[in-house]
Amino acid sequence: MLTVEMLQQNTQLSGLTVEQFKAIAEMSQNDENTVIGTKIGALHGQYDNDILSITGVAKNAGEKSYDYLKRVLNSYKADHDSLKETKTKLTNAEAKVTKLEKQIADGTQDESIKQQLKDARTQVTQLQNQLSTKQKEFDDKKRELETQLQTTHVDYAFASAIAGMKFKANIPEGIQKTLLSAAKDEVLRRGTPEFQQMADGSQRLVFRGADGNVLNNPSNNLNPYTFQELIMETSIKDVIDTGKQQPGTGTKPGSQQQPGSSSAIDLSGVKTQVEADRAIEAYLLNNGLTRDSEEFATQLATLRGENNVSELPIR
């Protein structure tokens, strides 16, 4: 969201009045609320599809995503409760065997007691087999669910990592998808993804190598590699447009375009200002800028102007 303070720091907007700054900031706030609402709705839709594909349990008509997830989880709780019930029965049967064995050891010769002991031992064996089977089924289902959820989270992280990436010219979309898929597979062969819980409650995605150690990036102060950093070390790096000019284009060899250059981002496919702003923001964020920085606001305004975003319909 653009604030009045951020706008006032932009020298290119120095001719605007305070009222105009406030109007722009208010429009930015309203637009962000709309975008957030749209993203939340889309995210819920993704969650619903993932829950269905993972569990096979369909969402009821009119059912909220939260209630849907709660109902699905309760079905797994039922499996857990059944397992717990079998364990209780086994404990009781084993206690009965112990009691009957003591009675016989104390000299009881009653044939009915001996038969009860025989029956109790048979029940213990049956319950042990039943418990073993249920435990394996529960563990297999739990492991499968955890694997599928992990895969889903990794897919989201990958989608976020490639957002804003621009391929070099003349590479068909079909080839782009193939190259991205190959890059993803290459990263996952290099390291196993792991989501770590941070002190502030957030999660961080890291990758562990075959030796079990977290992969750290020597080019980034040995911080854990991000998904995007690993992607850019795969073979795909040769076909991604990083904004670098080749010798002979009128610039010095090795010079690099800054995020504020219109040739560094392709907005040819967008149809509205909202779509354009999303693409520009994603591009700037992926270039290391933060929303609260002066440079972010400056580059956003520059890219909007150079790409004539204001001439598009708002939505």
Among 190, 224, 241, give the residue marking a domain's end: 241
Residue 156 and residue 187 in one domain:
no
Rounded to an integer, the average pLDDT of 224-229 is 90
Distance CA 201, CA 210 (A): 28
Domain hosting 117: range is 74-162
Q: Show the CA angle centred on residue 175, arms to residues 170 and 177, nearest 5°.
A: 120
- Residue 129 clears pLDDT 80, i.e. is over it: yes
DSSP state of 264: G
Distance CA 311, CA 2 (A): 20
| pTM for the predicted model, two decimal places | 0.46
Flag the least confident range among 60-64, 92-96, 246-250.
Answer: 246-250
Instruction: Give the chain's count of helices (H) and strands (E).
Output: 8, 4
Distance CA 79, CA 142 (A): 10
Among 162, 196, 228, give the residue marking a domain's end: 162
Here the tokens at position 37 are: 């609402």
Instruction: Give domain status of residue 109, yes or no.
Output: yes
**Dihedral angle sign, alpha carbons of residues 261, 266, 272, 278:** negative
Quote the pLDDT of residue 279. Answer: 82
- Residue 23 clears pLDDT 50, i.e. is over it: yes
Compute CA distances 137 → 54, 57, 220, whole Å: 16, 18, 44
Instruction: Give domain status of residue 301, yes or no.
Output: no
Residue 158 and residue 200 in one domain:
no
Contacts of 9 (CB under 8 A, 6+ apart): 294, 297
Instruction: Give domain status of residue 59, yes or no.
Output: no
Quote the pLDDT of residue 248. Answer: 34
Report the number of distinct structural domains present in the chain: 2
Compute CA distances 151 → 110, 138, 147, 260, 283, whole Å: 61, 20, 6, 35, 25
Burial of residue 189, with CB atoms counted within 10 A of its CB: 0-12 exposed, 13-18 middle, 19 or more buried = exposed
Residue of 36 and 264 predicted with greater confidence? 264
- Residue-wise burial string across 105-141, b where 16 or more C-beta atoms lie within 10 A, e elsewhere: eeeeeeeeeeebbeebbebbeebeeeeeebeeeeeee
Instruction: Give domain status of residue 114, yes or no.
Output: yes
Residue 206 and residue 229 in one domain:
yes
Rounded to an integer, the average pLDDT of 262-280 is 73
Instruction: Give domain status of residue 180, yes or no.
Output: yes
Q: For 137-152, how does the pLDDT look when each residue is reduced to its tens digit (9 = 90+)?
A: 888 877 777 777 778 7
Instruction: Give domain status of residue 118, yes or no.
Output: yes
Residue 116 and residue 187 in one domain:
no
Residue 236 and residue 203 in one domain:
yes
Residue 304 contacts residue 266 (beta carbons within 8 Å): no
Residue 86 and residue 154 in one domain:
yes
111-162 and 18-55 helices, crossing angle to 10°: 140
Quote the pLDDT of residue 95. Answer: 93
Quote the pLDDT of residue 190. Answer: 93
- Residue 207 clears pLDDT 90, i.e. is over it: yes
Which CATH number do you get for residue 145? 1.20.58
- Predicted confidence band of residue 206 (pLDDT cuts 50, 70, 90): very high
Instruction: Kindly state the helix (H) or strand (E) to which residue 203 belongs, with its residue range.
Output: strand 203-208
Instruction: Give domain status of residue 125, yes or no.
Output: yes
Distance CA 301, CA 145 (A): 45
Among 113, 131, 162, give the residue marking a domain's end: 162
Flag the least confident range among 24-33, 169-178, 298-307.
Answer: 24-33
Here the tokens at position 181 are: 């898929």
- Residue 26 clears pLDDT 80, i.e. is over it: no
Residue 1 contacts residue 32 (beta carbons within 8 Å): yes
Residue 89 and residue 155 in one domain:
yes
Rounded to an integer, the average pLDDT of 186-204 is 85
Contacts of 214 (CB under 8 A, 6+ apart): 206, 207, 208, 224
Q: What is the DSSP string of 207-243?
A: EE-TTSPBPEEGGGTTEEPPHHHHHTTSGGGGGB--S
- Predicted confidence band of residue 114 (pLDDT cuts 50, 70, 90): confident
Instruction: Give domain status of residue 20, yes or no.
Output: no
